[in-house]
Structure 1
Amino acid sequence: MTDTMIGVIGGSGLYEIDGLADATWQAIETPWGAPSDQILTGTLEGVKMAFLPRHGRGHVHSPTTVPYRANIDALKRLGVTDVISVSASGSFREDMAPGDFVIVDQFIDRTVARESSFFGTGCVAHVSVAHPTCPRLGAACEEAARAAGVTVHTGGTYLAMEGPQFSTLAESKMYREVWGCDVIGMTNMPEAKLAREAELCYASVAMITDYDSWHPDHGEVDVTAIIATLMGNADKGRDMVRRLPSLLGADRAPCPHGCDRALEFAILTAPEARDAALMAKLDAVAGRVL
């Protein structure tokens, strides 16, 4: 058994965790640069918690400029074991309405301008992201959201686009009708891939704000309407987060799905050929196997 530490990466509108005991904002240094903001740490119902505003307080980072590697490294460095991603998303499904939550279990990555791995020349690794989220953690988020009174959809494919612009109508229709995606957002990739490389359990909760641009009765994305829905979703998101410690508990067994052992056979570079500078940068995310 190890100690559970829940790390919440809050998206647009979700900038804090209510009710934290001994709450402290901490500046964390990483070899990958500064994270999006300081990290709020404390305990909730006896469980250690960490909260990181993905865009920084005041929303200073665009989806492309979010320092994803630094964010995941900083959480791992703090001792986080389980990462909950909470983010605003558009919906491609009539029944996934604004105000609903979707427990994402698959991704299609359409981002093009972001560093998507901790590894590279000098230390090559290949992890599996066939199942990029942790079912155990996703189930806890679902239970917590339902208890908070939210309409929750179990399972869904998240189309990660580069942004910051919203989709064209043609793109929206393709993602929905041809590719079979359920929700769209700009921030869960490469975040989910990096969490897997860092051997962290990762769950994604998409908080629906709009119908993107495909819906004939809603037309193009209305930012004013998104913000209004987003504020209501943030209240629901905080309520969901408050319920997670009692569901996950303070003591943590090894992940039954192997998320915390993702690097077991992933590193291919021979020890004598590994780059010393890169190895030093990997001390937190891959220290268990290196």
Structure 2
Amino acid sequence: MTERTTEGGAPIAIIGGTGLTELAGLEILGESCPDTPWGAISAPLVHGRLKGQDITFLARHGNPHRIPPHQVNYRANLWALRESGVETVIAVNAVGGIHPDMGPAEVVIPDQLIDYTWGRPSTFFEGELEEVTHIDFSYPYTDAVRRVLVGAARAAGVSHCDFGTYAATQGPRLETAAEITRLERDGCHLVGMTGMPEAVLAAELKLNYACLGLVVNWAAGKTDHIITMEEIEAAIAKGMSGVKTILERSVSDLGALSLQSS
């Protein structure tokens, strides 16, 4: 792999929805759309500055929101961020709550995940290789980054859970009630469709990586009614302010962490 470049790049990236560029005090500086060996990225990288810290945003599902989770080009996205100088990635994910403490609008900062996806390109280490490479993936989220996010949530009084096993499912459909029962039996606390292979690709590129999960609905079978888009949109509207607050309060510490690890 090529050495990462840092000139003109930002050490922190946020992957999520387009609304995350509305952080208080954020100055938008411009956009870029780098080429990658893995194809096109989901959307142009948006570069900005918040509290003196350079920051890059990437809309995972495109802008407008049009790419389903199983068709996101995760390899291109992570490669473009790394080549832009990014060292720390915060992934904002909409998730369903399985654990009783993880209801709609709750913020979850998970510490583990289980991958149930299939057929998604999930590694940079394939094709014409000189040798097979295996990376350690025992702990998929960077603990130092998680600690910064948890500390920011506590300091701001944002309701959150500082643990959780994320079940990454294929989508784009939601799960059946029986599937959620299986996931719960496996030890999963929340379920989403974009956690993998994003996390492992970040690990292969030696990027710091952590997840900010926003619960947007109870998982299938956890209530006596069907899941509706109105319910999901209401939870997003209620909970996104907490996500933004955590990001705004943590950006300086994340920047310092990035510099220490470089």
TM-score, L = length of structure 1: 0.81
CA distance in 1, matches of 2:108, 2:214: 7
Secondary structure of 1:253's counterpart equals helix
Q: Find the partner of 1:5 among 7, 11, 20.
A: 11
Q: Find the partner of 1:210 among 212, 217, 228.
A: 217
CA distance in 1, matches of 2:182, 2:155: 35
Secondary structure of 2:15's counterpart equals strand
- What residue is the counterpart of 1:276 in the other structure? none
Residue 72 of structure 1 and its aligned partner are, at CA, apart by 0.2
Secondary structure of 1:194's counterpart equals helix
Map 1:17-96 onto structure 2 (within 5 A): 17-18=22-23, 19-96=25-102
The question of whether the paired residues in 2 share the 8 Å contact of 1:7 and 1:75 is answered with yes
Secondary structure of 1:243's counterpart equals helix
Residue 22 of structure 1 and its aligned partner are, at CA, apart by 4.7
Q: Find the partner of 2:139 among 105, 120, 131.
A: 131
Structure ID, larger Rg: 1
Secondary structure of 1:16's counterpart equals helix
Q: Find the partner of 1:219 among 216, 225, 233.
A: 225
The question of whether the paired residues in 2 share the 8 Å contact of 1:17 and 1:242 is answered with no
- 2:162 matches 1:154: yes
Find runs of 4+ consecutive structure 1 residues off by over 4 angstroms: none
Q: Deviations over 1:162-209 (max 9, x none)?
A: 001111111011111x11100000001000000000100000111111
- What residue is the counterpart of 1:184 in the other structure? 191
- What residue is the counterpart of 2:3 in the other structure? none
- What residue is the counterpart of 1:261 in the other structure? none
When structure 1 is superposed on structure 2, of 81-90 and 242-251 the one drifting more is 242-251
Secondary structure of 1:42's counterpart equals strand
The question of whether the paired residues in 1 share the 8 Å contact of 2:217 and 2:232 is answered with yes
- Give the length in aligned residue pairs: 251
- What residue is the counterpart of 2:207 in the other structure? 200
The question of whether the paired residues in 1 share the 8 Å contact of 2:10 and 2:56 is answered with no
Residue 122 of structure 1 and its aligned partner are, at CA, apart by 2.0
- 2:175 matches 1:167: yes
The question of whether the paired residues in 2 share the 8 Å contact of 1:92 and 1:214 is answered with no
- 2:123 matches 1:117: yes
Q: Deviations over 1:220-257 (max 9, x none)?
A: 322210111112222322222111222224461127xx
Residue 92 of structure 1 and its aligned partner are, at CA, apart by 0.6
Secondary structure of 2:261's counterpart equals coil
**Structure 2: which 5+ residue stretches go unaligned?**
1-5
CA distance in 2, matches of 1:14, 1:117: 29
- What residue is the counterpart of 2:151 in the other structure? 143
Residue 56 of structure 1 and its aligned partner are, at CA, apart by 1.1
Residue 28 of structure 1 and its aligned partner are, at CA, apart by 1.6
Secondary structure of 2:69's counterpart equals coil
Q: Deviations over 1:118-153 (max 9, x none)?
A: 111322311111101001101111122333432111
Secondary structure of 1:104's counterpart equals coil
The question of whether the paired residues in 1 share the 8 Å contact of 2:137 and 2:203 is answered with yes
- What residue is the counterpart of 1:97 in the other structure? 103
The question of whether the paired residues in 1 share the 8 Å contact of 2:28 and 2:46 is answered with no
**Structure 1: which 5+ residue stretches go unaligned?**
256-290
The question of whether the paired residues in 2 share the 8 Å contact of 1:211 and 1:218 is answered with no
The question of whether the paired residues in 1 share the 8 Å contact of 2:21 and 2:57 is answered with yes
When structure 1 is superposed on structure 2, of 231-240 and 25-34 the one drifting more is 231-240
CA distance in 2, matches of 1:143, 1:24: 30
Secondary structure of 2:152's counterpart equals helix
